[in-house]
Structure 1
Amino acid sequence: LWVDRYRRSEVCGFSLRSRPNLDCINSHHIVISRHILGQEGGPNESLELSSGSDDELGSVVTVRLIPCLYTLIFLVGLPSNGLALWVLATRAEKLTSTVFLMNLAAADLLLVLVLPFKIFYYFLGNNWPFGEGLCRLTTAFFYGNMYCSVLLLTCISVDRYLAVVHPFFSRSFRTPAFAVCTCTAIWLCAAVLTLPLTLQQQSYPLYGADVTLCHDVLPRHEDDGYYFYYFICLIACAFLAPLVVMLFSYCSVLRALLQSGKRYSYSMKLTALVLFTLVAFYTPSNVLLLVHYSSYDSKLYGNLYISYMVSLAISTFNSCADPFVYYYVSEEFRDKVRRRFFSHRKQTTTSLKTSKETLPPKTSKDSLV
């Protein structure tokens, strides 16, 4: 949501458009006036919703559906990504693909760990009680880990492309050490891309209400293009360009598998599934964001707000889908999960038994462990 710097106590009408010569904007159908409680431009300013605009922020979709979606993602994504990361990290042999998958599981896990703050925020009626600093960090971590996952998925697609289409050419540099360097660069890139979110104020209290919004309402500064160009660059660098690379990589892999015959039919289906989940989860939210920033139609803003918030929640479902698409779909990985889980369980049971029984150090029972 966007608001310009208004003249004191002025409220905008719904028919206005965002133009440089106007003092206000009703982006996303949320019309806001700014009240200066201290000095103008100081930190003690609050925002006021005009008549009827609070229905958008207080709708059933916003305060019920969206937090329920995030709760479901948290309940599924936390154990699935945590278990996947544990199995991959304790693997004796570290392959190039293992390094990428470990970092993908870590990025998805960090994204899931941010969701409880957003869940509480929406369940409290779009009220942020955790302070400005945590609002900035939560916003940056949310977008940062989400787009970091996209960049890591791009690396995985390129790695599979090289392994399938150019196996001999890529053998010399497809090493775990090279994968570690690549993942380090990806994490640094994600941090740089989300740094502007930590440098700007993200939380604003509502005038006359005990409610503080976090990232839902953002004022436009004197340089109106700050957030406009930022989100355009973020989407272009962290979604559109990776999407083109992934489409090329996976289409090339599919073509190579088709030319190899029916014995790769399972791999073909899996590759198609990976491509489908990527497009299905990430495209809607990024397209809506692009349309929003490319249009000055206030009515379109109003229609896009709820749609974008729902699509953004749906995009985080990819953090739940990744473990099943990349890890648990493999019979080898499922065997490792079973071996490690039951082995750990067996060791725990044996330890409990020996702690209760006064057995000699070396007995037939101990030798079975």
Structure 2
Amino acid sequence: MSTRLRTFRLTTTTCNTTTLKEKQLKEIQAPTTNLYLPVLYLVVFCVGLPSNLLALWVLVFKTKPLPSIALLINLTVVDCLLLLILPFRIVYHIRGNHWELGEPFCRIVMAMFYGNMYGSVWCLAFVALDRYVALVHPFRARTLRSQRLSLYLTVAVWVVVLVAMVPLLLSQQTYLLHELNIITCHDALPEEEHETYFLPYFTTLFASCFLLPFTIVVFCHIAVLRTLLAEGKRYVHAIVVTVLVLFVFIVCLLPSNILLLVTYTDSWADGDGEDAYVPYMISLAVSTFNSCIDPFIFYFVSKEFRQRTKSALCCHDYCKEKSTSNRDGLSSSGPKSQVTLLSVSSRK
């Protein structure tokens, strides 16, 4: 994805100078971008970072090292990396979209922003695929859900992150706007240098890192719900997980991806892509809310995660009694206690 304003020909390339239309100059320092966006990002940071750090602590130190847990840990790490660069975006917008930390750090921040966002999308798809195998094909789950496959999926996630980051790391992101005396970070990119490069790149990224994982998620969740319904099992948690995941894709991520293509397609075709700038900026901020929702997906996906989280948040003596009774209950359940985390949740 790219936050992009149409620019005219560079007037002084040695000074990294670019010229914007009057409408665009107003939009780039309007209250929408300088006030509302920092507030949205601040809410995401304050809610998302503590909840993801708690989830990471529970997953790493309080749960069994099962192959499926690696997927949840990866998703949490990706979300944390995205959240950690939000303060730089907050300060940037508060200061009127003026970047003071230099070109290299602007490239790193924007590369981490988009790379981890798309990495999070594929993590959600792999979690959905893991639940699908565990519940729809339980007899094949032992062979399919292995440590080796977990390692392959982990590598795949980080390959996606790196591939999404490379074009932003290799291209200039900061430009001086003489009219406003500010240096933008990724908000004003030269038309002639980027329309033939970023349009096909982000179109490919949209298809491979949004549409494809979204298709996998929808298929897997529908199959899981149908299986639970056919077997006459309770599926309240499965419904909640499905609703949360679809909310992430449809409400958080879909608008920003659509407006991304609208911005680049219009700008390439007739030069009107700048009209989508403010709506896209808002949708981009909304897309980061998926990092706040992911820990709640863990909560409903895994019964053990729920128990461990409650144990971490409640008083020690009470939780010790609860954990003892839970261990007694699980030990009396025989072989069923060996079911992996992601499959237990949907059977309760």
Say if 2:74 and 2:123, in contact at 8 Å, map to a contact too. Answer: yes
Q: What CA deviation, in whole Å up to 9, does each residue of 1:327-365 have, x standing for no partner? A: 36755323313434568899xxxxxxxxxxxxxxxxxxx
What is residue 50 of structure 2 aligned with on the other side?
79
Q: What CA deviation, in whole Å up to 9, does each residue of 1:150-169 have, x standing for no partner? A: 01111101111111111112
**Larger-Rg structure:** 1
What is residue 23 of structure 1 aligned with on the other side?
none
- Between Structure 1 and Structure 2, the one with more helix by share is 2
Q: 1:277 offset after TM fit, Å?
A: 2.9
What is residue 232 of structure 2 aligned with on the other side?
261
Q: 1:223 offset after TM fit, Å?
A: 7.1
Alignment of 1:58-207 (within 5 A): 58-91=29-62, 93-207=64-178
Select the residue among 233, 244, 260 that pairs with 1:273: 244
Say if 1:126 and 1:211, in contact at 8 Å, map to a contact too. Answer: yes
Q: 1:89 is matched by which residue type in structure 2?
A: V
Select the residue among 293, 303, 306 that pairs with 2:264: 293
Say if 1:70 and 1:115, in contact at 8 Å, map to a contact too. Answer: yes
Q: 1:220 offset after TM fit, Å?
A: 3.4
Q: 1:145 offset after TM fit, Å?
A: 0.5
What is residue 34 of structure 1 aligned with on the other side?
10
d(CA) in 1 for partners of 2:7 and 2:104? 25
Cα 1:226/1:259, change in 2 over 3 Å: same
Q: 1:127 offset after TM fit, Å?
A: 0.3
- TM-score, normalised with respect to structure 1: 0.79
Q: 1:261 offset after TM fit, Å?
A: 2.1
d(CA) in 1 for partners of 2:80 and 2:228? 32
Say if 1:127 and 1:213, in contact at 8 Å, map to a contact too. Answer: yes
Unpaired runs of 5+ residues, structure 2, are 319-348
Cα 1:309/1:68, change in 2 over 3 Å: same
Cα 1:223/1:93, change in 2 over 3 Å: closer
Cα 1:190/1:140, change in 2 over 3 Å: same
Unpaired runs of 5+ residues, structure 1, are 3-26, 347-369
d(CA) in 2 for partners of 1:343 and 1:180? 36
Cα 1:345/1:262, change in 2 over 3 Å: closer
Cα 1:49/1:271, change in 2 over 3 Å: closer
What is residue 325 of structure 1 aligned with on the other side?
297
SS of 1:212's partner is strand
SS of 1:218's partner is coil
d(CA) in 1 for partners of 2:22 and 2:244? 46
Q: 2:108 is matched by which residue type in structure 1?
A: L
Alignment of 1:239-254 (within 5 A): 239-254=210-225
Cα 1:306/1:345, change in 2 over 3 Å: farther
Say if 1:32 and 1:49, in contact at 8 Å, map to a contact too. Answer: yes
Say if 1:35 and 1:207, in contact at 8 Å, map to a contact too. Answer: no
Q: Does 1:54 align with 2:5?
A: no
d(CA) in 2 for partners of 1:231 and 1:124? 28
d(CA) in 1 for partners of 2:252 and 2:207? 17
What is residue 316 of structure 1 aligned with on the other side?
288
Say if 2:74 and 2:154, in contact at 8 Å, map to a contact too. Answer: yes
Q: 1:180 offset after TM fit, Å?
A: 2.5
Spell out structure 1 runs of 4+ moving beyond 6 A: 343-346
Cα 1:116/1:192, change in 2 over 3 Å: same
d(CA) in 2 for partners of 1:266 and 1:78? 24
- TM-score, normalised with respect to structure 2: 0.83
d(CA) in 1 for partners of 2:301 and 2:216? 24
Q: Percent of aligned pairs with the same residue?
A: 41
Say if 1:289 and 1:308, in contact at 8 Å, map to a contact too. Answer: yes
Q: 1:238 is matched by which residue type in structure 2?
A: C
Q: CA RMSD in A?
A: 2.5
Q: 2:285 is matched by which residue type in structure 1?
A: A
d(CA) in 2 for partners of 1:249 and 1:147? 19
d(CA) in 2 for partners of 1:206 and 1:97? 49
Cα 1:134/1:264, change in 2 over 3 Å: same
Higher relative contact order (Cα pairs below 8 Å, separated by 6+ residues): 2
Q: 1:76 offset after TM fit, Å?
A: 0.3
